[in-house]
Chain A
Amino acid sequence: MDKLAAFGRLGLDIIASLGRSGRFLAGVLGGVSKPSVAFPLLLKQLYSIGVLSLAIIVVSGLFIGMVLGLQGYTILSDYGSEAAIGQMIALTLVRELGPVVTALLFAGRAGSALTAEIGLMKTTEQLSSMEMMGVDPLRRVIAPRLWAGFIAVPILAAVFSVVGIWGGMLVGVEWLGVFEGSFWGNMQSSVSFTNDVLNGVIKSVVFGFVCTWIAVYQGYDCVPTSAGISSATTKTVVYSSLAVLGLDFVLTAVMFGDF
C-alpha cells in the first residue's frame, strides 16, 4: 500500500512539475520587453550561449565527420560503392547527427551552465531582489536566455553539419582517395533541401527550444541550496538528453516515416 501511495505521489509530483513548467513558460513568453532593453540582453546571451559553444561544436563536428568518412568507406568499399560516401555523410549529418549531437552537446555545455547560473542567482536572492526592485526576472533574466538558446542551437547544428561534411571529405577524398567529383556530385543529387535540410533545421529548432526551456526552468525551480543546484544541473542534462532522443524518434517518424 505504501508503494502504491509513493507511486501515486510520484505521478502527482510529475504532473505538478509539468504544470509549473508550463506556467513558467507562459510567463516567459507572455511578457514583452522594450526592444531597446531586450536586444542588448539577447545579444549578450547569444554570445555566452552560442559563440562560446562554437569550439566544442566545431571540434565534435570535425571528428564525427571524420569517423563517418572512415566507417562509411570501410563499409561501402565492400560493395564497391565508396563513391556514395559523400551522400551518406551528408544525409547522416543533416538529418540526424547534426541536430541530435548538437543538442546533446548544447545541453551539456550551455544548458548546465544556464541552470547553475540561474540557480545560483536564486540561492543568493538576486532574483528576489530583482522582483523587489519592480523588475520581472522572467523577462530580464529568463527570456533572453530562452530566446538565445532557441536561436543558437539551429545555427550551431548547421555549423556542426558543415564542419562534419568537411571532416568526412578530408578522410574520404584527401586520405582514402575517393574521387572528389563523385563525393560532391552524389551529395548534391541526393540531398533534398525540403526533405533533408529543412527537416533537420526543424529538428534543431525543436531541440533548442526544449533544451533551453528545461535548463532555465530547472534553474528557476531549483531548491536554493548547493545540493539543490547540483541536483538541478544533473536533471537538466539528463532530462534534455532524454527529451532530445525521444523527440528525435517522434520527429523522424513524422518526417521520414512515409513507408
Chain B
Amino acid sequence: MSGHSTYVPQSAIGRWFESRLPILGLMHGSFVSYPTPRNLNYMWTFGAMLSFMLVAQIITGIVLAMHYTPHVDFAFASVEHIMRDVNWGWFMRYAHANGASMFFIAVYMHMFRGLYYGSYKAPREVLWILGVIIFLLMMATAFMGYVLPWGQMSFWGATVITNLFSAIPLVGEAITTWLWGGYSVDNPTLNRFFSLHYLLPFMLVGIVILHVWALHVVGQNNPAGVEVKNVQRDTLAFTPYATAKDSFALVLFLIVFAWFIFYVPNYLGHADNYIEANPLVTPAHIVPEWYFLPFYAILRAIPSKLGGVVAMFGSIAVLAFLPWLDTSKVKSASFRPVYKVFFWVFVLVSIGLGYLGAMPAEGGYVIAARILTAYYFGFFLLIMPLLGMFETPKAVPATIADAVLAKRGNVVMNPAE
C-alpha cells in the first residue's frame, strides 16, 4: 500500500550505501513516509507499546541470564542473589517480571481492539493469524519464564501445565515424560525451559517482523473500518503523526509500568513463589499468573480431563478462525449496533472468567465458570456467524475522510499538501 519507495538519501554516503543495500529506504518507507489512516484513535497505539515491551523484556532478560543459575539446587538462591547482591539486580528482575504483565495488558488491549473494529477481516486474515501465533508464543515464553525462579508456584504451575499433555489419548504419558526429561518436573525440565525461554523471544521477533510486514502490505484498519481509497485524503504520514501519538501513549504506559516496578512490584505475583519448590507438597491453592486466569477457568469448567484441555486450547485456537466465523460485511462495531452489545458482554465475560480462574474450583464458582465458558464459545461459534446474517448495520461512511468530516462537521485540511 505504501507503493514503490521514492526515498533518496540526502548524503552522498547515504546514496552510495542505498544503491548497495536499500535498508534506509526500507526504514523510511516503513516508519516515516508510511501512510496511516488519519482517523486512528488511541487504541492503535498498543502495537508500539508491544514492540517496546518485547525489546525491554529481551534486554532485562539477557541481563538476568548473566546472574541466574538454571539448576534445581541453585535456581531459587540465584534469584535471591539477583535481588540482594547484584548491582541493580532487583530493578532488572522486577522490570522483567512486571514487564511480562505489562506485555499481556498491552496484547489484550490490542486483541480487543482488533475484535471491536473487525481488524481480522479480509484482507487482514494472515496478519491476524500471525498475531494469534505471536500470542501463543508469548504464552509459552511467559509460562517457561515463570518456572525459572523455582518457587512453589513455579514448580506446581509447571507440573499442572505439562500434565495437560497427558490428557492426549495413547501417547500422552510418553509426551509428558519427553517434555520433562524424567518422571516428574525436575532438573532436566528446568534446564530445557531456561534454554527455550531464551530462544522463544527471538522467534517472537521473527514473527513480529512478519506481522508488521503483513500489516504494511494490507495497510492498517481504522475506526471506520473502510479501506484507504485516496492516500492524499485518507492518510497521514507515519512520522510525525503516528510516531508522536505512539510516543505520548508510550509515556503514559511507562508511568503505569514504573508504578508497578517501584511501588507494588509483587502485587501481581504470588507469595507462594517465595517458598522454594518442594516436589512433595502442593500449595493449598494453585493459581497461574493473572494473564492465564480466563483460560484456566475454562480448563476447570469442563468436568473431564481431556475435555477441559481441549476446551482450553480450543479457546485460543478459535481466534485463528475469526476471519471466517464473522460473516458481517461491515468491519467496525461502530456501525454494528447489535454486535457492539455482544462484544461488550464478551469483554465482561472474559474478565469474569479471569476472576473465576482465581477462585477455588467448587460450588457456585464452577457453575458460573460453565455459563461464562458457554458464552465465550457461543460468541465466536454462534453469535458471530449468525449476527452477520441478521443484523442491519448503520450506514458506513464511503471513505475515511468522510468519516472524519462527519465527526468534525467541517472541511478537512490536508497537512500533507
- The answer to whether A and B interact is no
Interface residues of B (CB under 8 A from A): none
